[in-house]
Amino acid sequence: MKKIILLLAFIFCAQVFSQNNQATLKVFLNCNYCDITYIKQNLNYVEFVRDQKDADAHLFFRTQVNGSGGIIYEIEFIGQNGYSEVQDKITFSTNSDSTDSEVREMILKYAKLGLVRYWLKNGDHDKISVALEKKTKVDVKEEKDSWNNWVFNIGARGFFYGQESNKNRSFNFNVSIKQVTNKNKFLIRT
């Protein structure tokens, strides 16, 4: 009877020990312009390593300025060790008026999103939750058009050609007035 109780206690302890010592996902961050401290404080269930060879996931950040003055971020997720088949890229943009805090939160959000496949492969299913925002209806108001949907076009064109014995001149002027609405479409040309 003592052997059975000892055997059951041993199995129970081994099971608890294996659950508590589940392998932690090792991450190497390669981002020169990120708030690394903020990411390390707020990215849970990972262990940050200093050598990229020791990492299970290598997060490589690239940036480029977009046309509106914001920044396009690309995060490349490079799987290593037992995660070599897990490769991914996520791209997102910030606005020119985004605050540092908003940019930090976006970087963290997309880093978490990219690490989901690694956590799933690691067996951390119980630590992952998904929340989707509800799609909001946009109330479209038709604005009053002060020009009442009229469009005016005025144009001029000329052509000059000449030699001593022959001269050719051509002038062309055009004016167009249009009113375009959903109910009617008129065009007047002169």
State yes or no: pLDDT of 190 exceeds 70.
Answer: no
- At residue 189, the pLDDT reads 62
**Mean of the pLDDT values across residues 158-168?**
81
**Residues in a beta bridge with 72:** 64, 93
**Mean of the pLDDT values across residues 55-77?**
91
- At residue 16, the pLDDT reads 43
Q: Where are the alpha helices (DSSP H) in 46-99?
A: none
**Burial state string for 71-82 with b = 16 or more CB within 10 A and e = fewer than 16:** bebebbbbbbee
pLDDT level of residue 19 (50, 70, 90 thresholds): very low
State yes or no: pLDDT of 37 exceeds 70.
Answer: yes
- Under DSSP, is residue 98 helix (H, G, I), strand (E, B) or coil? coil
- At residue 7, the pLDDT reads 45
State yes or no: pLDDT of 187 exceeds 80.
Answer: no
pLDDT level of residue 38 (50, 70, 90 thresholds): very high
pTM of the model: 0.58
- At residue 22, the pLDDT reads 53
Cβ atoms of residues 80 and 56 within 8 Å: yes
pLDDT level of residue 28 (50, 70, 90 thresholds): very high
**Mean of the pLDDT values across residues 161-183?**
81
Q: Which of these ranges, 23-27, 61-65, 111-115, 143-147, has the smallest mean pLDDT?
A: 143-147
Query: DSSP class of residue 182?
Result: S
Q: Please, what are the domains in the chain?
A: 23-127 (2.60.40), 150-189 (no CATH)
Rounded to the nearest integer, the mean pLDDT of the chain is 81
**Phi/psi at 93 (5° precision):** -125, 150
Distance of alpha carbon 146 from alpha carbon 137, whole angstroms = 27
Token reading at 66: 């977009």
Q: Which of these ranges, 27-36, 122-131, 142-151, 170-179, has the smallest mean pLDDT?
A: 142-151
- Under DSSP, is residue 178 helix (H, G, I), strand (E, B) or coil? strand
Distance of alpha carbon 179 from alpha carbon 160, whole angstroms = 34
**Phi/psi at 181 (5° precision):** -135, 180
Q: What is the pLDDT of residues 93-130, one digit of tens each?
A: 998 888 999 999 999 999 999 998 888 888 877 777 77
> Would strands 25-30 and 57-65 be described as parallel, antiparallel, or unpaired?
parallel
Q: Is the dihedral of CA 15, 19, 21, 26 positive or negative?
A: positive
